[in-house]
């Protein structure tokens, strides 16, 4: 035994004794409380002296490995559980076995696989350095968390260092990366500077996201590192959208992108991969031949729950078989084999399309530093894994000597890693907190008062459209556009056709505009996406599976990568399936510190009309549900005029927006459109004004409404005039629910001093409740009476009209409310 091996062995014994004293939790070890310990070469968990190497049988007195053929079910192996081996390290996932998988599943020949047999010394040392940087960085984070420098939720990656080693080895700077909340090391491996990552964790302005994101939201637009997403599995459709953006880039610039071999890589745990989003995204990847790698990090724990306890099959790499997507599984404790496999699979994705790579590994830490880890067998498993399955130590003791790597070589790598992490911590400490005003600056990419008529299309847009769109199809589209414009001149344009006209014009004008919808080829329910796929093809106009969350997520991924996706919901209540994705769309610009724009438009028919007989599920106030999502602009249109102008503005806006249309009036209301004009997205519109005489007589009332309420209010106006011509209303259409146009509301109230709100949302948490509160806070001195809020009852909307009248307010209720206000009855 050489002197350096003996010294390191003694250090490991001492460290292990200290580590397992008490509860045996690394997060409470004194090693992490020592101000300098996180930079020590021995700060990572150290192996037991009896640990068997992969090339050596375990001593009889210790835990002999169970072979693949006689391994019992995890839940039925008490001896293995006693040793902490709830999932023993696999013996059948070495490179030779992996090559057999690659041959069978991927169709790669023995000859073609030969080039992956060897990883050079320099590449091994580079990968080892990446593992050391990852381990020491996470240990530094752990200490900083205990010191209060890092706050909130934090999730460490100790034990899984072969993943960042693979990323730094096989993934290129131009590749698009989508990770989840345990992404520190993935960002580092993608080339994101350690200083900026640490500063982000320290909530400093020099962080990757200016301190707006934190531990779970690391982004770097220059490295194509696109998250850091906090909701389990939500990154999957975003990554699919990112992969689509690569194909779109190639389609729009065939010459410039002829050598483009970029891919998207998405990280997902084997627990998260049980989410239904995985199946949807595999389907999408297969259907479109997307250049995407699903990298499954298999640590056997869904948070801390033992994954086999909740999943019938944890072999996620086989999940693609149904879709024709090949998969392979490798032992992540063997870094060299992981690199070989990673290279082969990544090359396959670059050349042929989607694949799954599952890396069997262990996570040495809990879900987060504050995690009590009471789940079955978790503490015992951690102790065993640190002693038997540390990829860093396995590399040092097995792979390094076999490849001529000396202790001096390893020590140089550790020193480099130590210096990198030390510099990162010092940088983060020295950085300043972000200014308080930055939060409001990051609310919207475009100011609410932006004039979208001034926004030019991309450079060369007309030439790109002419080059990439079939001439006959483009001519047919323009002919149809002319027909719709003619209908507009005749006041014969429906709301649905007005939106369709705006979309077609914008897709012709800007080739980065895309659209996603169900039943898209047939024009959906109201012709909104009519002729889009027939004109612009299946990439720019995607017919979607019936899951709004899936294709809203895909649109989000496209929006992060230079496109302007439109999502047509058919009925906005279906957007309930996509609330998580809509929420992330609203948050992304701010969370990324303004790095990623989010020009995504969601359009659909919704609201609740009196006597619409659609029942509770199709009559929900989805517009109220999304009001609380930050970063969203929310508009409504009750006429073809408003629908056309707002659609064009929203498509051109660099942030996410939702345009709600009145479901029962989509084909009934006809009128004209302000052709070639964008309307403001932050303004209410006075549709009629009470006369000065009515104002002077105290018989004027301000009425705020939207969607079906506009028609109901116009019916009410006629009834009011018939009952008492001296009573009049200021009728204001709320075309912008967020931001709310308080200036227009205040101007009307300064005349009438009375307010009624005809609202298509519930009494609790409704739009009217928000408006009423803002009026009371900001315009209290203008009110002569309490606000009359005519809103839906909190009860679900019934189908039968006899009951529905008790829930949904209408013109007759507004008439009564106006006369009550005029008479002073409150």
CATH code at position 816: 3.40.50.920
**Nearby residues of 340 by Cβ (< 8 Å), 6 or more positions away:** 95, 98, 116, 117, 119
Does a structural domain hold residue 434?
A: no
- Alpha-carbon dihedral of residues 245, 247, 253, 257, nearest 10 degrees? 110
Shared domain check, 509 and 618: yes
For residue 514, what are the β-bridge partners? 565
Shared domain check, 302 and 376: yes
Shared domain check, 699 and 663: no
Give the DSSP letter string of 262-330.
--EEEEEETTGGGSHHHHHHHHHHHHHT--EEEEEEE-SEETTEEGGGT-S---GGGGGGGGT--EEEE
Shared domain check, 472 and 355: no
Backbone angles phi, psi at 579, to 5 degrees: -60, -40
**Dihedral angle sign, alpha carbons of residues 763, 766, 768, 771:** positive
Cα angle, residue 31 at apex, residues 149 and 195 outer, rounded to 5°:
40
Give 241-271 pLDDT, tens digit per residue.
999 999 999 999 999 999 999 999 999 999 9
Does a structural domain hold residue 9?
A: no
In whole angstroms, give the CA distance from residue 470 to residue 89: 55
Shared domain check, 752 and 621: no
List the one residue out of 445, 448, 452, 439 whose CA is nearest residue 743.
448
What is the tally of helices (H) and strands (E) in the chain? 31, 23
691 within 8 A of 519, measured Cβ to Cβ: no
Shared domain check, 691 and 667: no
- pLDDT score for 359: 98
Shared domain check, 169 and 249: yes
> End of a domain among 363, 385, 402?
402
Shared domain check, 322 and 229: yes
- pLDDT score for 54: 30
Does a structural domain hold residue 99?
A: yes
**Mean pLDDT of the residues in the chain:** 90
**Structural domain count of the chain:** 3
Does a structural domain hold residue 424?
A: no
150 within 8 A of 144, measured Cβ to Cβ: yes
Q: Which residue ranges in the chain fall short of pLDDT 50? A: 1-76
Shared domain check, 661 and 544: yes
> End of a domain among 648, 671, 694?
671
Shared domain check, 711 and 659: no
User: Which structural domain, as residue segments, surrounds residue 764?
Assistant: 685-823
Report how far apart the first and last C-alpha atoms of the chain are (Å, whole number): 93
Residue 596: CATH number of its domain: 3.40.50.970
- pLDDT score for 32: 32
In whole angstroms, give the CA distance from residue 639 to residue 310: 51
> End of a domain among 607, 642, 671?
671
308 within 8 A of 314, measured Cβ to Cβ: yes
Shared domain check, 461 and 373: no
For residue 494, what are the β-bridge partners? 670
For the chain, state the CA radius of gyration.
31
Edge-to-edge strand ranges of the sheet holding 264-269:
219-220, 225-226, 176-178, 264-269, 292-298, 355-360, 327-331
Does a structural domain hold residue 507?
A: yes
Does a structural domain hold residue 168?
A: yes
In whole angstroms, give the CA distance from residue 183 to residue 192: 11
The model scores a pTM over 0.85: yes
In whole angstroms, give the CA distance from residue 740 to residue 325: 48
DSSP strands (E only) in 663-765: 670-671, 685-688, 700-705, 728-733, 736-738, 755-762
Shared domain check, 689 and 667: no
Does a structural domain hold residue 26?
A: no
**Dihedral angle sign, alpha carbons of residues 445, 447, 448, 449:** negative
Does a structural domain hold residue 731?
A: yes
């Amino acid at each position: 035994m050489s002197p350096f091996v003996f010294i390191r062995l003694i250090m490991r014994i001492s460290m292990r004794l200290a580590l397992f004293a008490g509860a045996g939790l690394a997060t409470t070890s004194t090693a992490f409380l020592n101000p300098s310990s996180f930079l020590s070469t021995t700060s990572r968990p150290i192996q037991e002296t009896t640990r068997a190497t992969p090339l050596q049988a375990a001593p009889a007195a210790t835990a002999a490995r169970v072979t693949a053929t006689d391994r019992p079910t995890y839940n039925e192996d008490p001896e293995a559980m006693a040793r902490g081996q709830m999932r023993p390290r696999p013996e059948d996932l070495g490179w030779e076995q992996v090559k057999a998988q690659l041959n069978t599943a991927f169709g790669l020949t023995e000859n073609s696989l030969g080039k992956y047999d060897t990883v050079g010394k320099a590449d091994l040392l580079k990968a080892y350095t990446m593992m050391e940087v990852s381990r020491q960085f996470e240990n530094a984070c752990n200490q900083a968390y205990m010191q209060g420098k890092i706050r909130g939720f934090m999730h460490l990656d100790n034990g899984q260092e072969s993943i960042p080693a693979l990323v730094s080895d096989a993934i290129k700077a131009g590749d698009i990366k989508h990770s989840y909340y345990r992404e520190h090391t993935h960002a580092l491996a993608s080339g994101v500077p350690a200083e900026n990552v640490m500063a982000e964790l320290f909530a400093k302005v020099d962080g990757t996201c200016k301190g707006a994101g934190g531990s779970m939201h690391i982004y770097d637009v220059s490295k194509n590192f696109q998250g850091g997403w906090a909701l389990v599995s939500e990154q999957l459709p975003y990554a699919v959208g990112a992969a689509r953006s690569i194909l779109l880039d190639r389609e729009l610039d065939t010459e410039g992108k002829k050598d483009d071999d970029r891919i998207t890589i998405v990280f997902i745990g084997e627990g998260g991969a049980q989410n239904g989003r995985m199946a949807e995204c595999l389907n999408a990847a297969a259907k479109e031949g997307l250049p995407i790698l699903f990298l499954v990090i298999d640590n056997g724990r869904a948070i801390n729950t033992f994954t086999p306890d909740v999943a019938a099959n944890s072999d996620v790499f086989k999940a693609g078989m149904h879709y024709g997507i090949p998969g392979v599984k490798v032992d992540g404790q063997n870094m060299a084999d992981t690199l070989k496999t990673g290279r082969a699979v990544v090359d396959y994705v670059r050349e042929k399309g989607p694949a799954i790579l599952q890396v069997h590994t262990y996570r040495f830490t809990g879900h987060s530093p504050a995690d009590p880890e009471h789940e079955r067998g978790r503490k015992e498993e951690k102790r065993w894994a640190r002693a038997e399955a540390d990829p860093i130590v396995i590399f040092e003791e097995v792979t390094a000597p076999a490849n001529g790597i000396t202790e001096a070589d390893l020590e140089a790598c550790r020193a480099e890693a130590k210096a990198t992490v030390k510099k990162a911590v010092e940088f983060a400490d020295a950085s300043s907190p972000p200014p308080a005003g930055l939060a409001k600056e990051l609310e919207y990419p475009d100011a609410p008062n932006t004039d979208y008529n001034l926004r030019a299309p991309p450079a060369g847009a007309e030439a790109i459209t002419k080059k990439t769109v079939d001439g006959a199809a483009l001519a047919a589209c323009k002919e149809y556009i002319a027909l719709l414009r003619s209908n507009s001149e005749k006041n014969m344009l429906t709301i649905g056709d007005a939106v369709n006209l705006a979309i077609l014009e914008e897709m012709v004008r800007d080739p980065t505009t895309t659209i996603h919808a169900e039943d898209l080829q047939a024009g959906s329910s109201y012709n909104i996406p009519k002729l889009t796929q027939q004109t612009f093809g299946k990439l720019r106009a995607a017919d979607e599976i019936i899951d709004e969350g899936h294709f809203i997520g895909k649109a989000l991924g496209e929006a992060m990568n230079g496109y302007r996706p439109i999502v047509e919901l058919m009925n906005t209540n279906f957007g309930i399936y996509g609330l998580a994705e809509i929420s992330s769309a609203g948050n992304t610009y701010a969370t990324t510190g303004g790095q990623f724009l989010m020009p995504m438009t969601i359009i659909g028919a919704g609201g609740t009309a009196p006597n619409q007989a659609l029942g509770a599920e199709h009559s929900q106030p989805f517009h109220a549900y999304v009001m609380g999502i930050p970063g969203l602009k929310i508009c409504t249109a009750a006429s073809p005029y408003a629908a056309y102008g707002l659609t064009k503005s929203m498509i051109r806006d660099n942030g996410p927006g939702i345009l709600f249309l009145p479901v029962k009036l989509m084909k009934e209301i006809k009128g004209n459109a302000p052709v070639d004009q964008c309307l403001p997205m932050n303004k209410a519109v006075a549709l009629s004004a009470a006369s000065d005489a009515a104002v002077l007589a105290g018989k004027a009332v301000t009425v705020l409404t939207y969607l079906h309420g506009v028609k109901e209010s116009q019916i009410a106006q006629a009834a009011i005039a018939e009952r008492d011509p001296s009573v009049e209303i200021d009728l204001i259409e709320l075309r912008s629910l967020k931001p709310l146009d308080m200036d227009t509301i205040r101007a009307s109230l300064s005349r009438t001093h009375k307010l009624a709100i005809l609202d298509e949302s519930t009494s609790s948490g409704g739009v009217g409740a928000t408006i009423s509160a803002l009026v009371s806070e900001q315009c209290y001195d203008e009110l002569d009476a309490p606000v009359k809020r005519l809103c839906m009852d909190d009860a679900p909307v019934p189908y039968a009209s006899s009951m529905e009248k008790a829930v949904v307010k209408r013109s007759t209720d507004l008439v009564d409310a106006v006369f009550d206000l005029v008479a002073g009855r409150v």
